[in-house]
Structure 1
Amino acid sequence: MIPSNKNTFSRRSFLKSSALAGGGMIIGFNLFNACRFDVKPSIDLSQLNYNDFNAFIKISPEGKVTIFSPNPEIGQGVKTSMPMIIAEELEVAWDDVYVVQAPLDTKNYTRQVAGGSQSIRHGWTALRQTGATAKQMLVNAAAAKWGVEASECTVKNGVITNAKGETLGYGDVVSEAAVLEVPENVTLKDPKDFTIIGQGKGNVDIDRIITGKPLFGLDYKVDGMLYASVLRPPAFGQVLDSYDASAAKSLPGVVDVITIGKKVREFQEAGKNNWTMQISSSDKVVVIAKTTWDAFKGKKALKATWKTDTPLESTEKHDEILLDLLNGKDFNTRRKDGDVKKAFAKADKVIERIYESPFLPHNTLEPMNFFANVTDDKVELVGPVQTPQAAQTVVAELLGRDIETVHLDMTRMGGGFGRRLYGDFVYEAAEISDAIRKPIKMVSSREDDMTTGVYRPAIKYKIAASIKDGKLTGYHLKEAAANSNMYGLIPHFFPAGAIENYQVDTANYQSNITTGAWRAPYTNFLASAEQSFFDEIAEALGVDRVKLHMDLLDNVKMNPEPNIEYDPERLQNVLQLAVKKSNWGKTEAGVYQGLSVYYCHNTHVAEVADITMENGVPIVKKVTCAIDCGIVVNPLGAINQAKGGILDGIGHALYSDFGFIDGIPQSNNFNSYQLIRMGQTPKVDIHFIESDIDPTGLGEPTLPPVGAAVANAIYKATGKRLTKQPYMSNLNVEEKVLG
Structure 2
Amino acid sequence: MKTITKASRRDFLKIAGTTAGGLFIGFNWFSCDSPKVEVLSTEQILSQAKSFNSYLSISPTGDVVIYSPNPELGQNIKTSFPMVVAEELEADWEKVRVVQANLDTEKYDRQLTGGSGAMPHSWERLRKAGATAKFVLVAAAAKTWNVPAEEITVEKGIISHKGSGKKGHFGEFVTEAATMTAPEEVTLKDKKDFKIIGTPVKNVDAKEMYTGTPLYGLDFYREGMLNAMVQRPPFGMKIKSVDDSAARAVAGVKDVVVFENSVAVVGETTWPLLKAKKLLRIEYEADGAVESSTDHDRIFSELLASGKPEVKRKDGNVDQAFKSASKVVTAEYQCPFIAHSPMEPENFFAHVKGDRCELIGPTQTPDRARQSAAAILGIPPENITVEITRLGGGFGRRLRADFVEEAVHISKALNAPVKVTWSREDELTGGAYRPAVRYRFEAALNESGEMIGYKLRGVGMNAGNSTRENNFPSGAVDHV
- TM-score norm. by structure 1 comes to 0.61
Residue deviations 1:69-102 (CA, integer Å, cap 9, x gap): 1110001000101101111111111001111111
The residue type equivalent to 2:311 in the other structure is T
1:46 aligns with 2:43: yes
Kept after mapping to 2: 8 A contact 1:369/1:425: yes
Change in CA separation of 1:473 and 1:10 when aligned onto 2, cut-off 3 Å: closer
Change in CA separation of 1:41 and 1:311 when aligned onto 2, cut-off 3 Å: farther
1:491 CA displacement: 1.7
Kept after mapping to 2: 8 A contact 1:249/1:255: yes
The residue type equivalent to 1:200 in the other structure is P
Q: Secondary structure at the match of 1:197?
A: coil
1:468 CA displacement: 4.1
Structure 1 counterpart of 2:20? none
Structure 2 counterpart of 1:479? 458
Residue deviations 1:41-90 (CA, integer Å, cap 9, x gap): 85322233222332211211111111111110001000101101111111
The residue type equivalent to 1:149 in the other structure is P
Kept after mapping to 1: 8 A contact 2:355/2:379: no
1:397 CA displacement: 1.9
1:389 aligns with 2:367: yes
Q: For residues 149-548 of structure 1, what are the structure 2 equivalents within 5 Å?
A: 149-162=148-161, 163-234=163-234, 236-261=235-260, 283-470=261-448, 471-487=450-466, 490-502=468-480
Unaligned runs of 5+ in 1: 19-24, 262-282, 503-739
Kept after mapping to 1: 8 A contact 2:436/2:462: no
Q: For residues 69-88 of structure 1, what are the structure 2 equivalents within 5 Å?
A: 69-88=68-87
Residue deviations 1:392-414 (CA, integer Å, cap 9, x gap): 12211221111111000000000
The residue type equivalent to 2:345 in the other structure is P
Change in CA separation of 1:10 and 1:337 when aligned onto 2, cut-off 3 Å: closer
Kept after mapping to 1: 8 A contact 2:460/2:466: no
1:219 CA displacement: 0.6
CA distance in 1, matches of 2:178, 2:36: 33
Worse overlay, 334-343 or 123-132: 334-343
CA distance in 2, matches of 1:41, 1:139: 27
Structure 1 counterpart of 2:66? 67
Change in CA separation of 1:173 and 1:310 when aligned onto 2, cut-off 3 Å: same
The residue type equivalent to 2:455 in the other structure is H
1:110 CA displacement: 1.0
CA distance in 1, matches of 2:323, 2:391: 53
Aligned identity (percent) is: 45
CA distance in 2, matches of 1:482, 1:409: 33
Kept after mapping to 2: 8 A contact 1:380/1:408: yes
Kept after mapping to 2: 8 A contact 1:9/1:186: no
Kept after mapping to 2: 8 A contact 1:15/1:108: no
Q: Secondary structure at the match of 2:314?
A: strand
Cα RMSD, aligned residues only: 2.1
Change in CA separation of 1:332 and 1:284 when aligned onto 2, cut-off 3 Å: same
Q: For residues 125-140 of structure 1, what are the structure 2 equivalents within 5 Å?
A: 125-140=124-139
1:425 CA displacement: 0.6
The residue type equivalent to 1:43 in the other structure is L
Structure 2 counterpart of 1:582? none
Q: Secondary structure at the match of 1:312?
A: coil
Residue deviations 1:463-500 (CA, integer Å, cap 9, x gap): 22233443533322221222221346x22222223333
1:40 CA displacement: 6.4
The residue type equivalent to 1:231 in the other structure is Q
Change in CA separation of 1:450 and 1:40 when aligned onto 2, cut-off 3 Å: farther
CA distance in 2, matches of 1:44, 1:288: 36
CA distance in 1, matches of 2:38, 2:160: 31
Q: Secondary structure at the match of 2:340?
A: coil
CA distance in 2, matches of 1:10, 1:461: 44
CA distance in 2, matches of 1:249, 1:203: 45
Kept after mapping to 2: 8 A contact 1:259/1:284: yes
1:32 aligns with 2:11: no
Kept after mapping to 2: 8 A contact 1:73/1:79: yes
Kept after mapping to 2: 8 A contact 1:58/1:65: yes
Q: Secondary structure at the match of 1:426?
A: helix
CA distance in 2, matches of 1:41, 1:166: 26
Change in CA separation of 1:43 and 1:445 when aligned onto 2, cut-off 3 Å: same
Unaligned runs of 5+ in 2: 17-26
Residue deviations 1:183-219 (CA, integer Å, cap 9, x gap): 1111111112111111110100000001111000011
1:9 CA displacement: 4.5
The residue type equivalent to 1:298 in the other structure is A
Structure 1 counterpart of 2:19? none
Kept after mapping to 2: 8 A contact 1:239/1:309: yes
Q: Secondary structure at the match of 1:337?
A: coil
The residue type equivalent to 1:225 in the other structure is M
1:27 CA displacement: 6.7
Q: Secondary structure at the match of 1:103?
A: coil
The residue type equivalent to 1:12 in the other structure is R
Kept after mapping to 2: 8 A contact 1:369/1:384: yes
The residue type equivalent to 1:387 in the other structure is T
1:302 CA displacement: 0.6
The residue type equivalent to 1:32 in the other structure is D
1:227 CA displacement: 0.4
CA distance in 2, matches of 1:57, 1:347: 59
1:12 CA displacement: 2.6
CA distance in 1, matches of 2:309, 2:200: 48
- TM-score norm. by structure 2 comes to 0.92
CA distance in 2, matches of 1:369, 1:394: 16
The residue type equivalent to 1:4 in the other structure is K
CA distance in 2, matches of 1:325, 1:6: 48
Kept after mapping to 1: 8 A contact 2:28/2:57: no
Kept after mapping to 1: 8 A contact 2:437/2:466: no
CA distance in 2, matches of 1:159, 1:346: 68
Structure 1 counterpart of 2:115? 116
1:345 CA displacement: 3.5
